[in-house]
Structure 1
Amino acid sequence: MQQNIIHIALVVKEYDEAIDFYVNKLNFELIEDTYQPEQDKRWVVVAPPNSKGVTILLAKASKPEQVDFIGNQSGGRVFIFLSTDDFWRDYERMKSIGINFVREPQEHDYGTVAVFEDLYGNLWDLLQLSPEHPMAKRLPS
C-alpha cells in the first residue's frame, strides 16, 4: 500500500495577500487557483520550488470561529518545516526581503535551523538536515 499526504490547509485572511507572500517572498509555485462558484471560494494550492511532496492549501477563513486561528494554527509552536538544500542561501535571501526570523540560525547534530514567521505569524522552521538524518534520506535529491 502507498499513501501520501498531499495538502495541508493553512487558514488565511485573504487569498491574494497570501498568494503574494508565498509566491513572491518565499518563491513558492502557484500550483492552482480555481474559483469554486458553488461555494463562493477559491481552491488555492502553493508549493516550494521544485517540490514533489506536500502542498499547502491556502484556505480563507469562512466562519467567524476560523478567524481566531489565522496565524495561530499550532498554538504558538512551529507549524511547518521548510527543508532546503542550501540553508544560508535561503536564509540570507529571506532576511534581505524582510522575512522576520524570530530565532536566529543554530547548528545542531540534525542540521541547521532558524525560525521565521509567515505573514500572519505562523511559525516555520527553515531547515537543512544533515545528510545522516533519517528524514534526509526521504527527501528527493
Structure 2
Amino acid sequence: MRQRIALVSLLVPDYDVGIAFYCGRLGFGLVEDTALGDGKRWVIVRPPGAGESGLLLAVADGARQQAAIGNQTGGRVGFFLHTDDFGRDHAAFLAAGVHFHEAPRHEPYGTVAVFEDAFGNLWDLIEPRG
C-alpha cells in the first residue's frame, strides 16, 4: 500500500488574497482554481518542485473558522518549506516583503529561519543538511 499527504487545507480570508501571497510573494504555482458554485472555489497552490503535495486554500466560513485564520496551529510553526538553496529563497522572500521573525540559524538538521505568511501563520524555511 502506498499513501501520501496530498493537500493541507489552509484558511484564508479571500481566495485571491491567498493566491496573491503564495504565488506572488513566495513564488508558488497556481495548480488549480475551479469554481464550485455559491462563491466557493477549489484552489490549489504548491511550491516549485513540490511534486504532488500542495496547499488547498479555503475561505473561512463562519466566525469559528475566521478566528482560526493565521492561528491554525495555535501559534506554533505549523508549515515547513524545504529549499535546495536557503540563501536564494531567503533573499527573494525578503525582497518580496515577507516578514522573518529571526535571522537565519544553523541547526543540526539544516539552515532555518521562521517567517510569517500574510495571515499570521508561522513557517520554517529550511535547507536540510545533507
Q: TM-score range by the shorter chain?
A: over 0.9
- TM-score of the aligned structures, taking structure 2 as reference length: 0.97
Gaps of 5+ in 2: none
- The secondary structure found in structure 1 opposite 2:119 is coil
Cα deviation, 1:69-95, whole Å, max 9, x if unaligned, reads 000000100010000000001001111
Q: TM-score, normalised by structure 1?
A: 0.89
The alignment covers a number of residue pairs equal to 130
Question: CA-atom RMSD, angstroms?
Answer: 0.9
Say whether residues 1:2 and 2:30 are aligned partners.
Answer: no
Q: Distance in 2 between matches of 1:2 and 1:49?
A: 23
Among the aligned pairs, what percent are the same residue?
A: 48
- 1:26-45 → structure 2 map (5 Å cutoff): 26-37=26-37, 39-45=38-44
Q: Which residue number in structure 2 is paired with residue 82 of structure 1?
A: 81
SS in 1 for 2:41: strand
1:111 alignment partner AA: G
Measured in 2, the distance between the counterparts of 1:81 and 1:49 equals 14
Matches within 5 A, 1:52-91: 52-91=51-90
Task: Write the distance in 2 (CA, Å) between the matches of 1:16 and 1:2.
Answer: 34
Q: State the secondary structure of the residue aligned to 1:57.
A: strand
Write the mapping of 1:49-128 to structure 2, written as runs, cut at 5 A. Answer: 49-128=48-127
Unpaired runs of at least 5, structure 1: 132-141
User: Post-superposition, which runs of at least 4 consecutive aligned residues in structure 1 deviate over 2 A?
Assistant: none
How far 1:50 moved relative to its partner?
A: 2.1
Which residue identity lines up with residue 110 of structure 1 in the other structure?
Y
Alpha-carbon separation, structure 1, partners of 2:91 and 2:67: 32
Alpha-carbon distance in structure 1 between the residues aligned to 2:102 and 2:122: 10
d(CA) in 1 for partners of 2:116, 2:39? 29
